[in-house]
Amino acid sequence: MANTIEIENLTYHKNYRRILENINLQIEQGKTVGLLGENGAGKTTLMRLIAGVAKGAHGTVKIDGEDQVAAKKAEVSFSGQLDGFNPSMRIDKIIRFYEDVYSDFSTERYNQIAGFLQIDEGLRLSALSKGMKEKLVIGLTLSRDTKVYLLDEPFGGIDSMSRKKIIQSIIKWKASDAVIVVSDHYVSEIASILDEVVIIKDKTIYTKKSAEEIRAQYAEGIEQYYESIYEGNDMDD
């Protein structure tokens, strides 16, 4: 199967600090990947580099064989893109903005997801609760037609029913050949939908393993594996 994401020898500094070092990572077409790591590990930075939002790194990030920024922007739908919106903006205006800027944005798909997640379009961004905002981010991100979807900590501070709904929407609206990368610092929410687990530690990719392999090796699954790495009891060591 072809690699949709190919990262080679990627190193990134910010304000003279090394944030990520010598990242090498290949993600095959169609995979759902958990990008795990503690606070400050570099998950958001890696997603920004994959999406072509952060610049100035050494090394290459290719999406479907292309390493031009324009190709990345066209083929990567990144949840962090909502960060730039003015809080006083109404949701319906943000949706119009997505329709104008992204030719691959499907209003029909957005309406389906918004109905499923019960997103209210009449409100301003600043009036949304944390959970409502996460749902909006998911709706907008999944409504583009791209090869890669990057969801940066989509479960931050939201209730368990909403988490379940978000996971259902990821399963329901993921195209079979698309790659989805979901980042988090803990894993219990998303473990069941993952094909692969990538862990960032000490500024680099500490490990990449198939979820199946982890489940075969660890009785309590991905959560136990992840914790063992941070506690230093990885069975591979």
Ligand X SMILES: Nc1ncnc2c1ncn2[C@@H]1O[C@H](COP(=O)(O)OP(=O)(O)OP(=O)(O)O)[C@@H](O)[C@H]1O
Q: Residue 120: name the closest of 91, 155, 89 by CA.
A: 91
Helices then strands (H, E): number in the chain? 8, 9
Helix (H) / strand (E) element for 11: namely: strand 3-14
Residue whose CB is less far from ligand X, 15 or 103: 15
CA distance 49 to 58: 11
Cβ-based nearer residue to ligand X, 163 or 185: 185
Cα–Cα dist 50/196, whole Å: 17
CB of 40 to ligand X, least distance (A): 4
Of 19, 24, 45, 33, whose CA–CA distance to 187 is shortest? 33
Binding segment for ligand X among 37-45, 118-126, 141-149, 162-170 (CB under 6 A)? 37-45
The answer to the question of residue 84 lying near ligand X (CB under 6 A) is no
Which is nearer to ligand X, 43 or 133 (by Cβ)? Answer: 43
One of 7, 23, 41, 148 touching ligand X (CB under 6 A) = 41
Q: What residues does 12 pair with on adjacent strands? A: 20
Pick the binder of ligand X from 34, 42, 52, 80 (CB under 6 A). Answer: 42
* N-term to C-term CA, the chain: 29
**Out of 31, 43, 62, 133, the residue judged to bind ligand X by CB under 6 A:** 43
14 vs 58 by CB, closer to ligand X: 14
Least distance between ligand X and beta carbon 103 (Å):
29
As measured in angstroms, the least distance from the Cβ of 171 to ligand X is 24
Phi, psi (deg, nearest 5) at residue 227 = -65, -35
Single out the residue of 5, 31, 37, 165 in contact with ligand X (rule: CB under 6 A).
37
CB atoms within 10 A of CB 114: 21
Nearer to ligand X, 42 or 154 (CB): 42
Give the residues lining the site for ligand X (CB under 6 A): 14-15, 17, 19, 37, 39-45, 185
